[in-house]
Amino acid sequence: MAARSFAIGLDFGTGSVRAVVVDCADGRVIGTSVFEFPTGLGGVIVDAHDPHLARQNPADYLAGLKAAVPGALAAAGVDPGFSRDHVIGIGVDTTGSTPIPVDKNMRPLALDPKWTGHPAAQAWLWKDHTGAQEAAAITAMAREHAPQYLAVIGGTYSSEWFWSKIWRCLKVAPDVFAAAGSWVELADYIPAALAGVPTPGAVRRGVCAAGHKAMYSDTWGGLPSEQFLARLDPRLAALRPRLYDKAWPSDRPAGALCAEWAGVFGLAEGLPIAMGAFDAHYGAIGAGITTGTLVKIIGTSTCDIAITPATGDAPNVAGICGTVNGSVMPGYYGVEAGQSAVGDLLRWWVEVVCGGDEAMHAALSAGAARLVPGESGLVALDWNNGNRTILVDARLTGLIVGQTLHTARAEIYRALIEATAFGARAIIERLNASGVIIERVIACGGIAEKNPLFMQIYADVLGYPMLLAGSAQTPALGASIAAAVTAGSKAGGYDDFESAQRRMTTLADTRYLPDPAARRAYDDLYRLYRELHDSFGGVPDARADVPTLMKRLLAIRERAHGDHTR
């Protein structure tokens, strides 16, 4: 039997970084360490005057590396077969789009005493929405001049993404923009830091962030053209040469561990570092994604990942967040979709409306479980935080219909779960109709593991068995798989993702099968959901040039807010 080998996976989340040491033979996690980001509120820098602002201190990332990697290695040391000499590589996944302004020596501007504490010099966290106007302007400009840019990202550029944030920085903090030698996604920054990459030009960028968030494609020669960027602002066009020309899939090394970090970790200098990718993408790998599998990472929101062989043109899936060659695995188009509020929708109901806590979540789940589909007479839209897929409209709002004077909390709780399941069904139907055929669904994330009612409703609404990933930490596991693949079989890893997944990922024993009677009832309810979905989320009345009711309601709301704050 060959010597054991181990890979390190690093998962940079919103509030913390998790390091795991994984046995490459079976994917078992033998050491874990979590470092909570110290800056701001739960790791997030916020602004009391602007709810859309969310930044992160890059120093926290480096502190996290220093604490979590040695911590996980120390924890792994309990395994008598573990040795630091048998660590074969490091993989990294992060939130995104989380771009960081860096100087010409790859130092984040925020680490320069001149810019420390300046909000625009920090990492612009994925959920920062300050660039909403910029996103709208980018979408409008691309619709007119470069529709190909939008075709693969669902038709709308988001305020959460790379260019919206950089352009916003240019507008509100031109001094920070001018000082930035380049901008680097967190998913690319961490591998580059570990490799000691000396300049932004030497950073190997991953296609996951580039393709899904920065309108990168080999088809049109990389990032958006200078002509296009110049239409937005000439200074954005002038930035382009300082970004990157090429982005790489996830089986190519991002670099090799530099001497300095090797010393900190007590690992060998030169260890391969896998290309960085977003948490959902490596999470999908850790969940065991294959062609025909939809991986649902279900948390406060849901991220859906599918792959389809990159043998022809990219599938054109209208309203899907993105379709990028190699963004999940080389040789496949990665297809990303999502729902903006899932756990957050239930949290809103239980905590904001009903004033409850975890105990009430459990009580309402129990009450909801006693109902049969349709019994409450309720149907809801799951748009309290907008609709990411398939309508791509962040301004949409929620709707509940069917209440009586007897309608109970648990009934609405169930109706909200059902609404998210109907939203999930709309996504699967769109994928199937676009040729990305879904044959099985694997869920991972906290809700999937903890809420059997939720999973059963999904099985009944979707009409698929709901499988559960074997790991509770699929992103970190996926990152370690990327490390094992980057290291290769000769080093004790694997030569491709498929063979690594077969050995290193599992499914949980628990699975939820659709109940035929419930499924019939939900087929009927789903028709009503789609009717509400299409009429409230649909296009304005073209004849009369009247916006939809929901949009007119928002216009009234905005006017009222203006009145109230004047």
Nearest-approach distance from CB 391 to a second copy, in angstroms: 16
Name which position in 348, 438, 491, 496 contacts a second copy (CB under 8 A). Answer: 348
Q: Indicate the residue among 213 and 414 with the shorter CB distance to a second copy.
A: 414
Q: Does residue 507 belong to the site contacting a second copy (CB under 8 A)?
A: no
Which residues are bridge partners to 11 per DSSP? Answer: 18, 93
Is the previous residue joined to 365 through a cis bond, with omega within 30 degrees of 0?
no
Does residue 229 come out as left (phi exceeding 0), alpha (psi in the -120 to 50 range) or beta? alpha
* Window of 152-160, 170-178, 344-352, 481-489 that interacts with a second copy by CB under 8 A: 344-352
**C-alpha distances in angstroms, 545 versus 214, 539, 542?**
33, 10, 5
Nearest-approach distance from CB 385 to a second copy, in angstroms: 5
Name which position in 402, 452, 488, 547 contacts a second copy (CB under 8 A). Answer: 402
Lookup result for tokens 């309720």: 378
Q: Does residue 540 belong to the site contacting a second copy (CB under 8 A)?
A: no
Burial of 555 (0-12, 13-18, 19+ CB in 10 A): exposed
Q: Does residue 264 belong to the site contacting a second copy (CB under 8 A)?
A: no
Nearest-approach distance from CB 153 to a second copy, in angstroms: 24
Q: Does residue 557 belong to the site contacting a second copy (CB under 8 A)?
A: yes
Q: Give, for 344, the enclosing helix (H) or strand (E).
A: helix 343-347
Nearest-approach distance from CB 222 to a second copy, in angstroms: 37
Indicate the angle between helix axes 474-487 and 497-504, nearest 10 degrees.
Answer: 130
Lookup result for tokens 């028709």: 527
Q: Indicate the residue among 133 and 403 with the shorter CB distance to a second copy.
A: 403
Name which position in 344, 393, 429, 449 contacts a second copy (CB under 8 A). Answer: 344
Nearest-approach distance from CB 1 to a second copy, in angstroms: 52
Q: Does residue 6 belong to the site contacting a second copy (CB under 8 A)?
A: no
Q: Does residue 547 belong to the site contacting a second copy (CB under 8 A)?
A: no
Name which position in 407, 489, 499, 506 contacts a second copy (CB under 8 A). Answer: 407
Stretch 362-401 residues interacting with a second copy (CB under 8 A): 371-379, 384-385, 397-401
Q: Indicate the residue among 233 and 344 with the shorter CB distance to a second copy.
A: 344
* Window of 60-68, 83-91, 276-284, 518-526 that interacts with a second copy by CB under 8 A: 518-526
Q: Indicate the residue among 490 and 564 with the shorter CB distance to a second copy.
A: 564
CA dist 454 and 513 (Å) reads 12
Half-sphere exposure of 85 (CA within 13 A, CB side): 2
Q: Does residue 408 belong to the site contacting a second copy (CB under 8 A)?
A: yes
How many C-beta atoms surround the C-beta of residue 261 within 10 A?
21
Output 131-139 pairs: Cβ under 8 A, ≥24 positions apart: 131/159, 131/164, 131/165, 131/167, 131/168, 132/52, 132/159, 132/164, 132/394, 134/159, 134/163, 134/164, 134/165, 134/167, 134/168, 134/171, 135/159, 135/161, 135/164, 137/232, 138/163, 138/164, 138/167, 138/232
How many C-beta atoms surround the C-beta of residue 439 within 10 A?
11
Q: Indicate the residue among 1 and 359 with the shorter CB distance to a second copy.
A: 359
Which residues are bridge partners to 17 per DSSP? Answer: 12, 35
Q: Indicate the residue among 457 and 525 with the shorter CB distance to a second copy.
A: 525
How many C-beta atoms surround the C-beta of residue 238 within 10 A?
12
Lookup result for tokens 């920065």: 214
Stretch 313-342 residues interacting with a second copy (CB under 8 A): 341
Q: Applying CB under 8 A, which residues contact a second copy?
A: 341, 344-345, 347-348, 352-355, 371-379, 384-385, 397-409, 412, 517, 521, 524-525, 528, 531-532, 536, 549-550, 552-554, 556-557, 559-561, 563-564
